[in-house]
């Protein structure tokens, strides 16, 4: 289907504004404050709640990084690269590898060439193991995929060089941090403050990713090859409107703060095309857990509406 938003409206949505990006230091401030509370509290319940909330905030920070892959977080391209590299340091994986993978995902969404289409398979034992491992402990698989497997398969020349330089940077930062922590007798506390929020982040990321694409029509184009989740507005705020995912795939150059406006403009077209809109990340995620890995004839679940 041809997308029909009028050019003046679309040009306005492509415009960059600096004020919305003040959320970036705000999010880092919340993330840091939660870390301080977790470090100092004597109540284990509060500690784990802080770890959980830090993982949730990390998901929000990663959606800023995601905009950098499309050069939409900042108007100047090099600023997107700098922030993308910086934001990835706690996650170990490189911005270079993630960006290359993600742009291929957009180019080949829900086709055999989509590097992120691992939820689609023949429903063999290996497909089930991979699917449920990603759903529950996806952070480990993501680290392996973007640190080793995808770079060795797809990155060459300058991109490969930048990837390995980023990995060297991450190793240097982590070595320096833990060397300092060990010298002060704090290695265990620093490790916990880094590791457990990362585990929770990985779980949130798996929920988000599966909900965005699971059960969507196969090889059907950007409009109906993904799903928008009309979640609560608090979640849309903290995850920077990534839930308006149909609009993002149709117009990936639109910055995060204009995705809700884009969704409103696209809504008649979304409804006409039969593209999928759901109302809960968890409903799609839990339904996917019940169904397991996809095959091409599997269709959208009962939580979607046309």
Contacts with 74 (C-beta within 8 Å, 6 or more apart), sequence order: 16, 21, 68, 80, 83
Question: Are 119 and 293 spatial neighbours (Cβ–Cβ below 8 Å)?
Answer: yes
Whose CA is closest to 291, among 131, 171, 70, 106? 131
What's the CA gap between 193 and 138, in Å, rounded?
19
The pLDDT of residue 299 is above 90: no
What share of the chain has pLDDT > 90, as a percent? 83
pTM for the predicted model, two decimal places: 0.92
Q: Indicate the SS3 state at residue 268.
A: helix
Q: In DSSP terms, which residues pair with 229 in a beta bridge?
A: 278
Question: Are 150 and 163 spatial neighbours (Cβ–Cβ below 8 Å)?
Answer: no
What's the CA gap between 186 and 35, in Å, rounded?
14
pLDDT tens-place string over residues 97-131: 999 999 999 999 999 899 988 877 788 999 999 99
Q: What is the separation of C-alpha 82 from the centre of its chain, rounded to a whole number of angstroms?
A: 18
Burial of 306 (0-12, 13-18, 19+ CB in 10 A): exposed
pLDDT tens-place string over residues 157-198: 999 999 999 999 999 999 999 999 999 999 999 999 999 999
C-alpha angle 150/111/124, rounded to 5°?
A: 75
CB atoms near residue 142 (< 10 Å)? 20
Q: pLDDT at position 7, please?
A: 77
Q: pLDDT at position 32, please?
A: 98
Q: What is the separation of C-alpha 171 from the centre of its chain, rounded to a whole number of angstroms?
A: 22
CA dihedral 294, 139, 208, 219 (to 10 degrees): -40
Question: Residue 134 has which token pair?
Answer: 């990603």
What's the CA gap between 202 and 56, in Å, rounded?
9
Whose CA is closest to 146, among 106, 104, 94, 109? 94
The pLDDT of residue 208 is above 90: yes
């Amino acid at each position: 289907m041809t997308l029909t938003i009028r050019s003046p409206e679309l040009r306005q949505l492509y415009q960059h504004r600096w004020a919305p990006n003040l959320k970036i230091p705000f999010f880092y401030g919340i993330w840091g404050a939660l870390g301080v509370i977790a470090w100092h509290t004597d109540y284990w319940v509060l500690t784990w709640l802080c770890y959980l909330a830090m993982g949730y905030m990390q998901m929000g920070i990663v959606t800023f990084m995601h905009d950098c892959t499309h050069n939409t977080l900042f108007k100047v391209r090099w600023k997107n690269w700098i922030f993308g590299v910086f934001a990835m340091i706690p996650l170990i994986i490189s911005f270079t590898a993630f960006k290359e993978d993600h742009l291929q995902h957009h180019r080949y969404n829900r086709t055999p060439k989509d590097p992120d289409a691992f939820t689609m398979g023949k429903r063999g034992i290996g497909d089930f193991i991979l699917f449920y491992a990603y759903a529950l402990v996806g952070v480990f698989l993501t680290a392996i995929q973007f640190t080793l497997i995808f770079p060795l398969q797809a990155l060459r020349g300058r991109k490969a060089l930048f990837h390995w330089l980023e990995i060297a940077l991450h190793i240097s930062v982590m070595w320096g941090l833990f060397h300092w922590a060990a010298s002060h007798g704090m290695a265990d506390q620093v490790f916990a403050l880094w590791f457990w929020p990362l585990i929770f982040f990985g779980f949130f990321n798996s929920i988000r990713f599966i909900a965005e694409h699971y059960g969507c029509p196969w090889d059907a184009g950007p409009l109906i090859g993904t799903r928008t989740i009309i979640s609560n507005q608090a979640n849309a705020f903290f995850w920077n409107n990534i839930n308006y995912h149909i609009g993002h795939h149709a117009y990936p150059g639109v910055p995060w703060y204009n995705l809700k406006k884009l969704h409103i403009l696209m809504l008649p077209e979304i409804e006409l095309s039969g593209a999928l809109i759901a109302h809960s990340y968890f409903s799609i995620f839990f339904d996917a857990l019940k169904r397991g890995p996809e095959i091409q004839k599997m269709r959208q679940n009962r939580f979607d509406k046309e």
